[in-house]
Structure 1
Amino acid sequence: MQEKTFSIAKTFDLEGIPEELTVRGLAERSPFVPALDPDYQFRKELLSDLLAWHMLGGTEGLYLTGPTGSGKSTLVTQVAARLNIPVQRVTAHSRLETPELVGHYALVNGSMSFVDGPLTTAMREGHWFLLDEIDLLDPATAAGLNGIVEGSPLVIPEKGGEMVVPAPGFCFIATGNTAGAGDQSGLYQGTMRQNLAFLDRFWMVEVGYPEEEQEQMILARVAPGIPEDIRTGMIAYAMEVRRLFMAGQLEVTLSTRTLVRWAKMSEFFRPLANQGKNPLQHALERALSFRAEPETRSSLAEIAQRIFG
């Protein structure tokens, strides 16, 4: 597809960026380009890392690591959405094997045909390949992707050794919670320590939760009907829950994604106040509390009582 240059300042709605700074993308959208979220707020330092990797050709893998719900995958998909870059996205698990990524034979129109998997499609078409939760992947399976991460051709034995050479634009991106080091905290069960040779093929970018000011801007956009002091309290609540989660005192955390869900639901349920119900509490239960253990629900309610009264 035809390439196009995009102004970084205009495309990502950033202030203080020279207009002449540009990044390459594609001129037209295709079905695999992620949906654009107009309310998404980019963080300059993270966007800078991703665009630097992209402008240097993406010849090495990109590994985004950070706590659950910090926006790792969303950063990738929202950059791709604005640059019209197609993305093949897969969520890893302990039983995921290479053939699921490469492809398999299936009955098509009455005959057996080889159907490309998401990795093969990304390589043939020059798409970004995004593998979420990569630290759940069996290390032996991950190590089998070493050559692919750095741009080597893919060989498909089922098709007589067909060699798929990566098309221009193909890149390998991974996200995970533990930076491939395995779970030392007990917060992310099922994660596994990855092979060092595999990890050595990636740029590593750490994605934490947004700063308080950034989350204020996010909530102001997605739920403008909520008073500013309430939004401030919601962010203070989120920060306290995250602190307790990281300390191992809670089994759930309040990510930016959950915070946005809570804010939107609170705004939607505001009419409940006329019925004597608390919209904030009603929304919080459905956004977060109902997936916690009974003791944790009590703790979450106590934190809300302390912050909101």
Structure 2
Amino acid sequence: MSEIDAAQYRVAAMPYYRPVGNETELYEAAYAARMPLILKGPTGCGKSRFVEHMAWRLDRPLITVACNEDMTAADLVGRFLLDLNGTRWQDGPLTVAARIGAICYLDEVVETRQDTLVVIHSLTDHRRMLPLDKKGELVAAHPDFQMVISYNPGYQSLNKELKPSTRQRFGAMAFDYPLPEIEAEIVAHESGVAPAQAAKLVQMAHRSRNLKGHGLDEGISTRLLIYAGRLIVQGIPPAEACRMALVRPLTDDPDMQDTLDAAIDTLFG
């Protein structure tokens, strides 16, 4: 792979990310050591944005894979394809990342089958090698290559849990929703909504998060707050924006919707 090929995976403009602690310094140290990393935290709290920001900050290509239960090892590593000229090999995203020295980010990795995930093992220990068995090639990872995976611990189950043999190849960073004043700052910046409205949206989020495990699997994410803020900026009344962007995506339970709608009326009525 040439440098021109790698350029298409670079993050062109700085993605906005508001640090809430020393996470950027920790990541930079992990990258300097080429330590594989697990990012774990609730839905929509900024894990993917953080990886994008760090790839830009470190000036490294970023290849992101959205994991799912149907993904096979060939989807990650590559496969032979048949075209008009015959059979040719097509590298998968993991192989491309290893060749060009990209950060390879596997998002929601626990959605992937365990037999698929085994292919990353040789890249995440001292070997830093990727065997392409079907092609008969052993790819040595570029010195700048790093593996990053993420998942939401709240959705883990016995069927969706990282094996110790995988987990213990990584360092880990825990993410959560920011403190209210920081989250309001993020929502205002990303959506363009007024700071006072952003603060109310964050209050709504905290009310929903207090219901986690009491009718809700997950509270309102920072991502959804930004959506609501953008609707408000478009002229939608705040209460309607909240119902559309915050409540209806979160739950189909009529009683829970009524509870959240009442909270919206209290804050924005």
TM-score (norm 1): 0.78
Judged with a 3 Å threshold, the aligned counterparts in structure 2 of structure 1 residues 215 and 202 are, in CA distance, closer, same or farther, namely same
Asked if structure 2 preserves the Cα contact closer than 8 Å seen for 1:61 and 1:172, the reply is yes
Kindly indicate whether structure 1 or structure 2 has the higher relative contact order, using CA contacts under 8 Å at least 6 residues apart.
2
1:76 and 2:44 correspond: no
Deviations 1:256-278 (A, max 9, x none): 111111111111125xxxxxxxx
Measure, in 2, the Cα distance between the counterparts of 1:210 and 1:237. Answer: 14
Measure, in 1, the Cα distance between the counterparts of 2:191 and 2:38. Answer: 32
Q: Secondary structure in 2 aligned to 1:122? A: helix
- Which one of the candidate residues 222, 246, 256 is aligned to 1:288? 246
Q: Which amino acid aligns with 2:112?
A: L
Structure 1 residue aligned with 2:201: 234
Structure 2 counterparts to residues 195-274 of structure 1, below 5 A: 195-226=163-194, 228-245=195-212, 247-270=213-236
Shift of 1:202: 0.4
Q: Which amino acid aligns with 1:282?
A: E
Asked if structure 2 preserves the Cα contact closer than 8 Å seen for 1:134 and 1:175, the reply is yes
Q: Percent identity?
A: 26
Shift of 1:104: 0.8
Q: Secondary structure in 1 aligned to 2:13? A: coil
Structure 2 counterparts to residues 1-309 of structure 1, below 5 A: 30-36=7-13, 39-56=16-33, 58=34, 60-150=35-125, 151-159=127-135, 161-178=136-153, 182-183=156-157, 192-226=160-194, 228-245=195-212, 247-270=213-236, 279-291=237-249, 292-293=251-252, 294-309=254-269
Shift of 1:198: 1.0
**Alignment: residue pair count:** 263
Structure 2 residue aligned with 1:23: none
Measure, in 2, the Cα distance between the counterparts of 1:127 and 1:285. Answer: 40
Judged with a 3 Å threshold, the aligned counterparts in structure 2 of structure 1 residues 37 and 305 are, in CA distance, closer, same or farther, namely farther
Judged with a 3 Å threshold, the aligned counterparts in structure 2 of structure 1 residues 241 and 108 are, in CA distance, closer, same or farther, namely same
Deviations 1:220-264 (A, max 9, x none): 3234452x332221111111112212x242245311111111111
Shift of 1:209: 0.7
Deviations 1:19-57 (A, max 9, x none): xxxxxxx9xx8211235355432333221221121122x
Q: Secondary structure in 2 aligned to 1:40? A: coil
Asked if structure 1 preserves the Cα contact closer than 8 Å seen for 2:193 and 2:230, the reply is no
Q: Which amino acid aligns with 1:306?
A: T
In the alignment, structure 1 segments of 5+ residues that lack a partner are: 2-25, 185-190, 271-278
TM-score (norm 2): 0.88
Structure 1 range deviating more: 103-112 or 123-132:
103-112
Q: Secondary structure in 2 aligned to 1:130? A: strand
